[in-house]
């Protein structure tokens, strides 16, 4: 069985990957509209609207619930997994992005005076609660359509 056949026969995996494609694609389009130019970084980059991580894990959890039932142990595992990923997106990764922003200001200051030659850190790492919520709603929608 080829990977394409396996994908077609696994409705849970199919929905999670479709949620990833829709979320990441919409992130690219929204960034293009906002900046007025295409950005390759947005194709694979983290952060931004909507949260692709949230879309994937919520689609995964909702599809598992849909196909195995809410009382299934698999549902419990995927729900907890989704909650951890979404919490991390708004907590740890958001804080890391804010720290990168502050460090980039310091690096810029030191570069101005020739004391350092570092590249700036990536600042767009985490998500706002709205980005996570939109991603989660998108994922659930994909799982049930």
40-84 residue pLDDT tens? 777 777 777 888 999 999 999 999 999 999 999 999 999 999 999
> Residue 55 has what pLDDT?
96
Average pLDDT over residues 82-108: 74
C-alpha 31/C-alpha 45 separation (Å) is: 11
Q: Quick check: 12 and 60 in contact, CB under 8 A?
A: yes
- The fraction of the chain above a pLDDT of 70, given in percent, is 75
| Among 82, 74, 68, residue whose Cα is nearest residue 136 | 82
The answer to the question of residue 35 being in a domain is: yes
The answer to the question of residue 116 being in a domain is: no
Structure tokens given for 78: 């995927």
**Position 97 confidence tier, pLDDT thresholds 50, 70, 90:** low
CA distances from 21 to 2, 5, 16, 24, 122 (A): 21, 18, 9, 5, 23
Q: Residue 77 sits in which domain range? A: 3-91+126-144
Structure tokens given for 134: 């939109």
The answer to the question of residue 8 being in a domain is: yes
The answer to the question of residue 97 being in a domain is: no
The answer to the question of residue 130 being in a domain is: yes
The answer to the question of residue 101 being in a domain is: no
pTM, to two decimals: 0.75
Structure tokens given for 110: 């030191």
CB hemisphere CA count around 119 (13 angstroms):
3
State the total domains in the chain. 1
The answer to the question of residue 111 being in a domain is: no
48 or 27: which carries more pLDDT confidence?
27
The answer to the question of residue 117 being in a domain is: no
CB hemisphere CA count around 94 (13 angstroms):
15
> Residue 89 has what pLDDT?
82
Read off φ and ψ for residue 117, nearest 5 degrees: -125, 30
Other residues' Cβ atoms within 10 Å of the Cβ of residue 86: 22
Average pLDDT, the chain: 82
What confidence tens digit (pLDDT) does each residue in 74-93 have? 999 999 999 999 888 877 66
In the predicted structure, residue 17 carries a pLDDT above the cut 90: yes
């Amino acid at each position: 069985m080829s990977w394409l056949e396996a994908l077609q026969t696994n409705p849970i995996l199919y929905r999670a990957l479709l949620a990833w494609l829709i979320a990441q694609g919409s992130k690219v389009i929204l960034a293009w509209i906002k900046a007025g130019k295409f950005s390759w970084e947005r194709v694979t980059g983290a952060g931004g609207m909507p949260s692709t991580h949230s879309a994937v894990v919520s689609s995964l959890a909702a599809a598992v619930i849909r196909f195995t039932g809410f009382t299934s142990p698999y549902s419990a595992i995927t729900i907890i997994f989704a909650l951890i990923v979404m919490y991390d997106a708004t907590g740890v990764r958001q804080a890391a992005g804010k720290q990168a922003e502050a460090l980039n200001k310091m690096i810029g200051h030191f570069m101005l005076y020739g004391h350092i030659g570092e590249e700036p850190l990536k600042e767009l790492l985490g998500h706002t609660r709205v980005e996570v919520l939109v991603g989660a709603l998108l994922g659930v929608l994909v799982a049930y359509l």
